[in-house]
Every structure is written in C-alpha cells, then in structure tokens.
Structure 1
C-alpha cells in the first residue's frame, strides 16, 4: 500500500469502527449474558493479520481493545469470564510478531507509533489507562474493570505499567481532599479491593522494590493529603503505602456501616500484602 493514506478511506474506516463500537457497547450491556468473549475469540484470528496503512491498523487495534474493555466492565468482577479475557490477552501476546504480505515482500505489522503487532500488545496499556480515567463510570463498571486489569498485572502483562491504574485509584481515594474528589470514596474502595484480591504479590513486589519503571510522571505524582503528611517520594513506596493504610484504618471506623465494612476488608488484605512484601523477590 502506498505510504500516503486517502482521506476518504480514513474517514470511512473511522465511521465503520464507530458503528462497531456502538454495537459492542450494546452487546456488553447484557452483563454476564453478553457473548463478547466469543466475539473476541473470532476477532483474534481476523485482527492484525493483513497489511494495511499504520493509521488504519491503529483504528482496528483500538477497536479490538475496546471490545475487551467493554466486556470487562460488564462481566461481574468474580465471573470466570474475566479469567477468560485474561487468557485471551495471553494468547494474543503469545502470537508474537506478525508479518503480512505486501506487493513487494513480507513486512512486520507496525502501528503508527512503531509498535509491533502482537508482541508489543500495542495501545493496550494506554487504552486501559484511558478507560480507567473515566470519572463518569458507574461504581460497578469501575470495580469490574479493575478486577480485569489487576488480573492482567498479576500475570505480568505490560510489565509494571498497568499498576499505574491502581496508583491513580489510590491517589484519588486517599490523597485527595473530599472537597476536590470527583468520585465518592465509597465508589473507589471496591475497585481498590480488586487489586488487593487479584494482584497481591504484584503489589508486594513493586512496593518492596519501588518499581516505577514505565509509569508516567503524572501517574507517580503525590496527592495533596500525602504531601501534607510528609511523604516525599511519589510512585510506589512503603512510606506511601503506610499512609494509605492509615487512611483505610480511619475509614474502617466510620459510622457508615457499609463503607466501614468495605474498608475493614481492604485493610485486612493490605496487611497480608505487608507480610507478602517481606517475602517478595
């Protein structure tokens, strides 16, 4: 294909993927009854298998990850279908670098930012981060999505990058003054619990080693309450973790019974991560 991309072709392709996303969102709204996991299985063998202009490839790959994200938001956090989605990501990763025939020769499929399909899992991390940043998401969708991302992080997908999604959650929940909060603390605690439940060893490891590689400086930044408490190091650190634990402990004493119970359960899991931290290699 010529390196120049016809504007009309790009626009028509964008319209196609917009309609595709609308159909995916409609299917996802059926909750655990949706069949997006089956749709993904079929898409794996069709996506990123033919040579095309990198900008067109970008659109296809973003739509591919969108299907995962909508499925994850709508499958309940404890559904076995969440595990199916993780296995499908692992399968895609294992496909490795894909080559496709051009008029002249075989060429490695690359996105517009030069990532390789599928070995680099192009755009997966950034698309997940963008999805997490949606403050309009319902509490249930947020919890479900983070249960998926925590599962991915626990098996090493995207290295440590996905733990940035957890960092943002923790900062919003425990380092942001209530008057500045965009999402109620009661909506954030269940999502944080997903990380403690599904990725405890990952959290213990990055805490012990202060593993912040691959994380954007904006993600690593401390929130106001944490800075005021005297914590100076952003990112993952045992001092910052201790600050979060104190915040959770205070919430566990709340007069709001449901909120206090959620915080108490989270605190128990955080203590277990503390113990795992001492053993993490």
Structure 2
C-alpha cells in the first residue's frame, strides 16, 4: 500500500492537476485496500491529514484553492470507502458522520490578503469548509456508479451512512438526491420480488436491471428510518435541486400512475404518497413470498412515514385531503385520514 500520509502542506496535491474533478487513481486504490482490510484508524488519520493539508496549503502558499480540488475529491472518497465497509450497526459509523460535521464546523477557510484584507477559499461548489464543496456531487456519483456492483451488506452500510449524513442537512440537502435514485429503482421500477436469501455478493459485472425488490428494499428502508423527516421536508416544497436532471426523474410505474400524473420530478407530496402506497403493496408481496423480515421492514417504514407526517402536521396531509376520491379512497393511503 502506498503511503497515505505523505502529503505536504507546502505543496499542491500530488498529481498537480488542480481542478481535475476526480480523486487520484492511486488514492482510490489505497483507500479501497485500507477499507477492505478494516484499517479505519489509518483512514481516519488520512482524512485528518488531507483536511489539514488543504488548510495549510491555502493559508501559506498564496495560491488558488483550485489547486486543492483533487485533495477535496480524495477526502470524500476516503469517507465513501468507509461508508461501504463500516458496519451500519456500529457506533463507528456515527463517528464518521460526526467527523464530517466537525470538518464543516471549521467554518469558511480564510487567509490574510494584504489588498483585500481576507481571502475566502471559494470553489464552484461552495466555500471550503463551510459548504463541504463536492461532497454531495461526489457521493451521488459514487452511489450511482457503484450501487449495482456492491453486495447487499455493502449497499446497506453505504445507504445507512449516507442517510445519516443527509439527516444533518449538510450540503443544502443535496445528499437526498441519492434517495431519489434509490427510491426510483426500488419503488418505481417493475421488478420481480425475489428473496432475501438470493445470492447478492459484490459483482462488478452486475447491472441495475437484474435487481429484485428484495435486494434493494433494506437500503430504501434505511433512508426512511434515518432521514425520513428530511424526505418529508423536501417533498413539502417539491425540491428538485439535483446535480443532473435525470436524477430527479420519476420511474416508469410512478410516472404513469394516478399520483405520478400530478407530480413534477424530484421530491413532491404526490411522489411521497406513491412511495407510501408501494410500501403497502410490498408488505403484501413479502407476506405472499413468506419473506417475513422484509414485510416487517416495509411495515416499519410505513409506520415511520405516517408518524413523521402526522407529527409535523405536514402539507402532505392537506394535499392528500384535497386530492379527490381516486386518492383519498385508496386503501393503501387510509392511514393518512384523520382518526386513523
């Protein structure tokens, strides 16, 4: 393994590419190797080192923050590899989320400038460290590229980590666009139901089209469990600030449904109602397939969605009440009625 701690604060990132928009391939291989080996203490040291190196380089060199862009992408890739391999049932995963929040807590990166007084490290994606530039776009692209190849355990770990991070509302809620991608594939695409016992190991040749509902449902439920409140907030305001237009696009079964005819892309009250309806259908499908654990997970997600929307007295309830009989009389949405 290469020396992951070799960067100097007095030098630009090692490939000298400045603004390449990608993590150095050597870094990627090293981070993946360390994460698979469970060497999370080393990776934590790397993230501290990269954060410190960016700060020191900008403050001491007088050069543009653009020269550190590769370092920033490298930093987020280290966190992403930990997301894939740190257990979603451990407090260690929460520590990694906290580490990112502490990085944000450093506030805007500034340096003394004789002419202007203060220079602020601004990138095309926001201010370092205040806006955590490139975090949301990088994590979204990593998820889109890798989720099909991940094994079921890796997929659940990564989904849980990203949902926990999104629940803190960093990066202007843009991490939640990952939920749109996952929910489209889980709830809005025609798939066989499958079984939780089907083989689902890491496979880099696998494509999204071969997935079953059973293989994706635990990850979708993790997003509802960890970030359901945020999903409601974004649905209330029909949020669609995605890095690419295709990310917010509705899936086939949603677009051609009664609810999908009324909704734009991205989050919306109508789409939230569709996800709730699909979870009810998935409970029935799981019970018919004798997949009791998956049925329980879907039922728990329904409970969370209903509890959150009622506790908030969400605008979604008003949209539902005004939707007309075709929606309000749907048996799968009855839990939204007053008195239920």
TM-score range relative to shorter protein: 0.7 to 0.9
Correspondence 1:145 to 2:158: yes
Correspondence 1:167 to 2:180: yes
CA distance in 1, matches of 2:21, 2:312: 46
- Cα deviations by residue, 1:48-106 (Å, 9 ceiling, x for unpaired): 43135555411111001001111111111122122112221111112122235799997
1:66-145 alignment, distance < 5 Å: 66-100=77-111, 107-111=119-123, 113=124, 115-133=126-144, 134=146, 135-145=148-158
1:150-229 alignment, distance < 5 Å: 150-178=163-191, 181-213=209-241, 216-229=244-257
TM-score by length of 2: 0.70
- Cα deviations by residue, 1:163-218 (Å, 9 ceiling, x for unpaired): 11111111111111228835332222111112221123212222333333456432
Deviates most, 57-66 or 94-103:
94-103
CA distance in 2, matches of 1:225, 1:96: 43
Correspondence 1:260 to 2:306: no
Structure 1, unmatched stretches of 5+, are none
Correspondence 1:29 to 2:29: no
Q: How many residues align?
A: 272
Match of 1:17 in 2: 24
Q: Is the 8 A contact 1:48 1:109 kept in 2?
A: no
Q: Name which structure has the greater RCO, CA cutoff 8 Å, separation 6+.
A: 1
- Measured at CA, do residues 100 and 20 of structure 1 come closer, stay the same or move farther in structure 2, by a change above 3 Å? farther
TM-score by length of 1: 0.83
Q: Is the 8 A contact 2:21 2:69 kept in 1?
A: no
Q: Is the 8 A contact 2:127 2:133 kept in 1?
A: yes
- Measured at CA, do residues 185 and 49 of structure 1 come closer, stay the same or move farther in structure 2, by a change above 3 Å? farther
Larger Rg: 2
Q: Please report the RMSD computed on the Cα atoms of aligned residues, expressed in angstroms.
A: 3.2
Structure 2, unmatched stretches of 5+, are 1-11, 193-207, 316-340
Give the deviation of 1:28 after TM superposition.
0.5
